[in-house]
Structure 1
Amino acid sequence: MEDEKRISLRLPTELHARLAEKARTDRRSLNSEIVHLLEAALGPVGGDGQSP
C-alpha cells in the first residue's frame, strides 16, 4: 500500500461545489478528483523539477 498523508483543507464554498460536480461527472470521489487534478497540474512523480 502506498504511503499517504492526511490533511485538513479549507475551500471556498463555490470551489468545493465545482470540485464536487466535476468529481460526480468523472465518476470519482471528491478526494480522488482533487488528487487527479493536482497530479495533472504538477506532472508525473519524479519529473525533472523544472517548471514548464
Structure 2
Amino acid sequence: MVNFNLRLPDDLHAAIKAAAERDGRSAHGQMLWYLRQAVESSGTPVRPGHEPATPAPLRGSGHSLRP
C-alpha cells in the first residue's frame, strides 16, 4: 500500500466525514470508495503490480491550479 498525503478544503473534508458516518465507513474508507468508483466509471483499469493505464488528457488550459 502507498502512503499518500492529500490536502482537502475544509468543506470537502466535512462532506466526506458526514458521508462516511452515514455510510458506516471511516473517512479514509469513504475516500477510497469514492476513488474506486471514479476509476471504475472512467474505464481506467486498476492494474495491481503494473504501470498505471495511460491517463486521460487534462481538461482546460493545462496549467496547474497551484498558485
The answer to whether TM tops 0.5 is: yes
Q: Quick one: higher RCO (CA 8 Å, sep 6+), 1 or 2? A: 1
Q: Which interval holds the TM-score relative to the shorter structure?
A: 0.7 to 0.9
Higher radius of gyration, 1 or 2: 2
Gaps of 5+ in 1: none
Q: TM-score, normalised by structure 2?
A: 0.60
Match of 1:40 in 2: 37
More helix by share: 1
**CA RMSD, Structure 1 to Structure 2 (Å):** 1.7
Aligned identity (percent) is 33
CA distance in 2, matches of 1:13, 1:45: 29
Match of 1:5 in 2: 2
* SS of residue matched to 2:46: coil
Gaps of 5+ in 2: 48-52, 57-67
